[in-house]
């Protein structure tokens, strides 16, 4: 049975903060930072925006593209590192906001930056098994970092939502294969009641991000007897602009395959949204019958790798909602000190 994405949507707050402004406030060298992490500016959520509001906006866009009977949605899974409530689901707020009845299953997920793709994995299982007709998978975050930490230059905000289903005449991209990898690698964490996350610096690179993504990509390509050149696009998790380009080169993907899904240069790292937002960029411009490899990474640590194939339906739905590129281009700059007061 074929199944996959029938609708997708994104949301990025309009406000931006430039790397130079953050560096100036912290007495740091902006040129060195920009060349190191390849982030020129980042998105910033205003006081009345949080993971839920961004998840709702992204889901409304996904519904515009899906064009389905929303009362046939049987599940909502919401991945985030910044759920507004410690005890109260974000997923049910989304369900209420988009006008669903009460007959659906819902849960919030947390696995650092891969909780958004984890929501897709869970939703895919429910749709493929026919337990539900449609399922919504969301990744949204209002990321935070302590003053002066390198994360402050990239921690940003955004949301992405995907509606999964099985009617062939509705699918914009089939999900052909999923491989997940999980390990106890504590490279990044935030304990209960702590406001900001902590990390092990360079340890978050080689033994964490790069090692995990390399393993899961090798596994999924081996199981499907595929090679990097078989794909039209590849989307990696983007903690910054440097890492996805570096891992793509290491694994044998061309810059042409990687660059379409890159947004971190101008948006930063919106955590659980990161991989999903890259996928929306690709879907916004992909053509029918193209192969997409999507690989998330979440500290703690793990990856979800997925192979997708676009369909002829995609071209009919791409312009039914605001594109991710339009969100990226729609921006208004604020200064660093305004950001400290959260506007």
Task: For the chain, list the domains and their CATH numbers.
Answer: 4-171+317-340 (3.40.47.10), 175-312 (3.40.47.10)
Point out the catalytic residue in the list 81, 133, 152, 170: 81
Among residues 28, 9, 11, the alpha carbon closest in space to that of 20 is found at 28
- At 82 the three-state DSSP class reads coil
Point out the catalytic residue in the list 113, 133, 152, 303: 113
Q: How confident is the model at residue 271 (pLDDT cuts 50, 70, 90)?
A: very high
Q: How confident is the model at residue 179 (pLDDT cuts 50, 70, 90)?
A: very high
| 274-313 pLDDT per residue, tens | 999 999 999 999 999 999 999 999 998 999 999 999 999 9
| Degrees to nearest 5, angle at CA 50 with 152 and 241 | 35
pTM of the entire predicted model = 0.95
Specify whether 83 is catalytic. Answer: no
Length of the chain: 343
- At 135 the three-state DSSP class reads strand
Q: How confident is the model at residue 173 (pLDDT cuts 50, 70, 90)?
A: very high
Query: In sequence order, what E strands does 110-246 have?
Result: 134-142, 157-165, 173-182, 188-189, 198-199, 233-236
How many CB atoms lie under 10 A from the CB of residue 82?
Answer: 22
Specify whether 237 is catalytic. Answer: yes
CA-to-CA distance for 180 and 173, rounded, in angstroms?
A: 19
With a CB cutoff of 8 Å and minimum separation 6, the contacts of 220 are 177, 179, 226, 293, 305, 307
Say which DSSP state 172 is in: S
């Amino acid at each position: 049975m074929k199944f996959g994405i029938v609708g997708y949507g994104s949301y990025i707050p309009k406000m931006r903060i430039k790397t130079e402004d953050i560096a100036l406030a912290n007495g740091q060298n902006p040129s060195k930072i920009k060349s190191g992490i390849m982030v020129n500016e980042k998105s910033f959520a205003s006081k009345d925006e949080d993971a839920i509001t961004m998840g709702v906006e992204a889901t409304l866009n996904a519904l515009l593209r899906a064009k389905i009977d929303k009362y046939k949605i049987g599940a909502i899974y919401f991945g985030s590192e910044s759920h507004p409530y410690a005890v109260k689901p974000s997923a049910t707020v989304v369900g209420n906001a988009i006008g669903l009845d009460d007959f659906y299953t819902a849960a919030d997920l947390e696995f650092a930056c891969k909780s958004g793709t984890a929501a897709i994995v869970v939703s895919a299982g429910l749709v493929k098994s026919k337990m539900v007709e449609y399922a919504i998978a969301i990744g949204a975050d209002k990321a935070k970092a302590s003053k002066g930490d390198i994360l402050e230059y990239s921690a940003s905000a955004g949301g992405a939502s995907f509606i999964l289903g099985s009617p062939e005449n509705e699918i914009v991209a089939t999900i052909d294969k999923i491989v997940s990898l999980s390990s106890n690698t504590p490279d990044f964490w935030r304990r209960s009641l702590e406001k900001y996350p902590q990390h092990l610096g360079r340890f978050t690179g080689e033994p964490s991000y790069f090692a995990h993504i390399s393993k899961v990509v090798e596994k999924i390509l081996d199981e499907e007897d595929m090679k990097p050149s078989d794909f039209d696009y590849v989307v990696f998790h983007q903690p910054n602009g440097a890492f996805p380009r570096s891992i793509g080169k290491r694994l044998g993907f061309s810059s042409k395959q990687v660059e379409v899904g890159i947004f971190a240069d101008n948006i930063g790292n919106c955590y659980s949204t990161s991989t999903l937002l890259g996928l929306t960029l690709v879907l916004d411009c992909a053509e029918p019958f193209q192969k997409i490899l999507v690989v998330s990474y979440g500290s703690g640590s793990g990856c979800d790798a997925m192979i997708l194939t676009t369909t002829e339906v995609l071209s009919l739905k791409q312009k039914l909602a605001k594109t991710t590129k339009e969100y990226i281009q729609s921006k208004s700059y604020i200064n660093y000190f305004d950001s400290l007061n959260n506007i």
